[in-house]
Amino acid sequence: MKNDVNLAADGGVWSAHETEAFGVRIKPLGRQPYEPIWHAMQAFTEARTDATPDELWLLEHEPVYTLGQAGKPEHILGATDIPLVKIDRGGQVTYHGPGQLIAYTLLDLRRRKLGVRELVRKLENSVIDLLADYDIAAYGKVDAPGVYVRMPETGIEAKIAALGLRIRNGCAFHGLSLNVDMDLTPFSGINPCGYAGLQVAQLCDFGVRETPAALAARMAAKILNQIN
């Protein structure tokens, strides 16, 4: 199934254009601080009914570390000026910042007849499909959610996309982050996703010169292809 998602991205810059495809409202939100968006996801999920359409939010965040509900503080390696927010998704600690594409998937899993593990695989596959458009081989791992690549020249394994979800009343929120073209330095201040020494990659390492805004429509279409 192919879905035509039309998001306006003027020269790779975020716009406020919203669209809908296959019953999913797709909202490009631009660059946002973390906590207001997190609380908005919580409020949306708490208030939704069986008739509420699913939503897909696409954005970038201001610099922030987030620590999952079972996250271990020892994975934060030192003091930093970057704020740390303890949140309600699964997983350990990760970093979000400008140049990273965020896709928050606010989905009614019961209505879509999706299990949590199935949703994780579908989100991973959406990123894998996107990278394949740029001839980048990527893969998921059963024991470590996310999307991984082999670095050019060295062949070292690195994580290019992270996933974290919360399920409430049969509905999912949070989602995935894809490193596009960003400052990766803050990842050195943590054990990314709880793995010491884990390498982190981004699309520009492979010669892809895009912005998160320019990739948003393509990412949305890949997600819709997977969940419909």
91 marked ligand binding residue: yes
162 marked ligand binding residue: yes
* Active-site residue, selected from the candidate residues 102, 136, 178, 193: 193
11 marked ligand binding residue: no
Q: Which strand (E) or helix (H) includes residue 20? A: strand 19-21
93 marked ligand binding residue: yes
163 marked ligand binding residue: yes
52 marked ligand binding residue: no
195 marked ligand binding residue: no
209 marked ligand binding residue: no
Nearest to 163 by CA among 227, 63, 89, 98: 89
45 marked ligand binding residue: no
Report the alpha-carbon distance of residue 184 to residue 202 in Å, rounded.
Answer: 8
Report the alpha-carbon distance of residue 101 to residue 91 in Å, rounded.
Answer: 19
Torsion of CA 204, 180, 67, 146, to 10 degrees: -80
DSSP string, 26-63: EEEEEEE-HHHHHHHHHHHHHH--TTPPEEEEEEEE-S
- Tell me the two tokens of residue 95: 């970093």
69 marked ligand binding residue: no
171 is catalytic: no
Backbone angles phi, psi at 22, to 5 degrees: 50, 40
Give the largest CA-CA distance in the chain.
50
Residue 96 has, within 13 A of its CA and on its CB side, a CA count of 29
Annotated binding site for substrate: 89-96, 162-164, 175-177
Task: Report the catalytic residues.
Answer: 193
Annotated binding site: 89-96, 162-164, 175-177
